[in-house]
Amino acid sequence: MKKSLLWCAVALFSFSTVAVTPQPFLNTQVQFNQNQQQADILVILVPENITDLNVAKWGKATRSQINRAIEVAEFTGKSGTKLEVVAPIGLDFGRVLLLGVGDPAELSRAKAEELGATMSAHVNATKAKKVQVNSQLISDTALNTTISAALAHGMELRNYRFDRFKSKPKPRPEQQYSLQVADVKATEARYQQLHALAQGVFTARELANLPGSSGYPEVFANYAREVLEPLGVKVTILMPEQVKALGMGSLYGVSQGSANKSYLLIAHWQGAAGEPIALVGKGNSYDTGGYNLKTSSSSIIRMHTDKAGAAAVVGAVQALAGQKAAVNVVAVAPLSINLISRDALLPGDVVTAGDGSTIEVGNTDAEGRLILADGIWYAREHLNARVIVDIATLTGSKVGALGTAYSAVFTQDSNIEQTLRQAGEQVQERIWPLPLTGYGDVTKSRIADRINTGSPGAQAGALFLQHFAADTPWAHIDMAGDSFSATAKGIHPEGSNGYGVRLLTEWVQLYQQQAK
């Protein structure tokens, strides 16, 4: 009787409770023009310390009312500040929102995107359906272009919703945004690049948000294929039997206790010649901890987000393909689900990785490095990657060291570190280097070549993974704690936020440029 009940429990994980297929993420529309359009709300981008706000075609009464409101509210145009005037005199708009941009020359891309999110949150609190954004007070054409495109990008990122499991989902924002800009063609071109990036972020959010029984390896792989192939990305999916036949026992072992075995997803965008840049993402679709069971209910309920690394590399390749980027990049996503059954890995078991290394499983809850080991090896051995960056929600000790303001990067390649840090600053997905040297052979096992535990935890995880990169230039990003937003803030809605997509997309292009 006990045996049959256990089998029924395991079998529950062999199907999805909801059909999981790609769906539109936004109902908002964006267009750029040089003329003011009729709308419910007018948003004016206001540089700092403008003492007399005078917008073209405003009458004396309108100008007087707006400037009086500015004076009373002590609105300075400092970046991020806002002032709303309801029922403005002499205008057909129901509301005028003044949005401070500070000094346009000092406004970073990330800050402009945050302004877009601020605008979006404000508009969503009204009943406005048509939104007119006026940027004419930013007189420099180049700045006008970059700020306006980034503003639209930030609005889109904030407006994402994960609602596929709601029986009665809250209506998504359906506004039409019309941005009055100095150079329509240039702004539209820049926006389309950012819009492709947003689509990659949305895919990553969607994949990471999927519950464990709805986003297991097969579903994840097929979802990625549906999204990527129409963009010209070559997608290869290695089934569990192929994973096992290739000797990737480290990856296969993590899911051996589940009815849904491990997969390996390879997504290749070949926008340039030469050897590919490889992005390897941890795709553990749900993590119970295995027999080293997670005991905290507050942490285990979020373990569907343990696939955020794989979601990030898929999203980055989608973004680069959507941008038609001149890069040769491949995403490798080892996909697993870490469950308990009569067939699951036991603490102390030994598995053999694709490179032939034997690994003692010191802790079944340190499964991320087990699946990444074979993913990194596959990128090196079968894809001949010229550089490998892996990304994962790997260790709690990373959160203890850096919190969530930074992700940790481990590498002995100064160029990779420098370009990753530069990319992270650009998109505000910051990284901070932690050392690899000085810890000895902390992953040495008594009974096998290596053990998947060690102290300190973040360093032990990185040192374990470094072995499988061998001589290939490599970096490991530990983003534990960074990929989930408990509340909506800035460009991120509540839930999985797509962390890593913007970082990796920016980094791949930066690294490619420096390699020329």
Active centre residues (catalytic) = 294, 369
Q: For residue 8, which amino acid is it? A: C
Q: Among 120, 81, 515, 54, which Cα is nearest to 326's?
A: 515
Tokens of 401: 């060291």
What are the C-alpha distances in Å from 365 to residues 250, 333, 350, 376, 452?
13, 19, 15, 19, 10
Give the three-state DSSP class for 297.
helix
Q: For residue 98, which amino acid is it? A: L
Q: How far apart are CA 154 and CA 141, in angstroms?
A: 20
Tokens of 451: 């053990």
Burial (CB count within 10 angstroms: exposed 0-12, middle 13-18, buried 19+), residue 435: exposed
Tokens of 435: 């050392």
**Residues 235, 267 contacting (CB under 8 angstroms):** yes
Q: Among 306, 352, 359, which Cα is nearest to 333's?
A: 306
Bridge pairing between strands 29-33 and 283-287: unpaired
The secondary structure of 35-59 as a DSSP string is: S----SEEEEEEETT-SS---TT--
The contacts of residue 296 (CB under 8 Å, 6+ apart) are: none
Q: Among 271, 272, 263, 227, which Cα is nearest to 244's?
A: 263
The secondary structure of 126-190 as a DSSP string is: S---EEEEE-TT---HHHHHHHHHHHHHHHHHHH----TT-SSPPPPP--EEEEE-S-HHHHHHH
- DSSP assigned state of 388: E
Give the three-state DSSP class for 392.
strand
Q: For residue 383, which amino acid is it? A: L
Which residue shows structure tokens 């690294």? 511
Q: For residue 79, which amino acid is it? A: S
- DSSP assigned state of 283: E
Q: How far apart are CA 7 and CA 193, in angstroms?
A: 49
Backbone phi, psi, residue 490, to 5°:
60, -130
**Residues 89, 61 contacting (CB under 8 angstroms):** yes
Which residue shows structure tokens 């980027």? 325
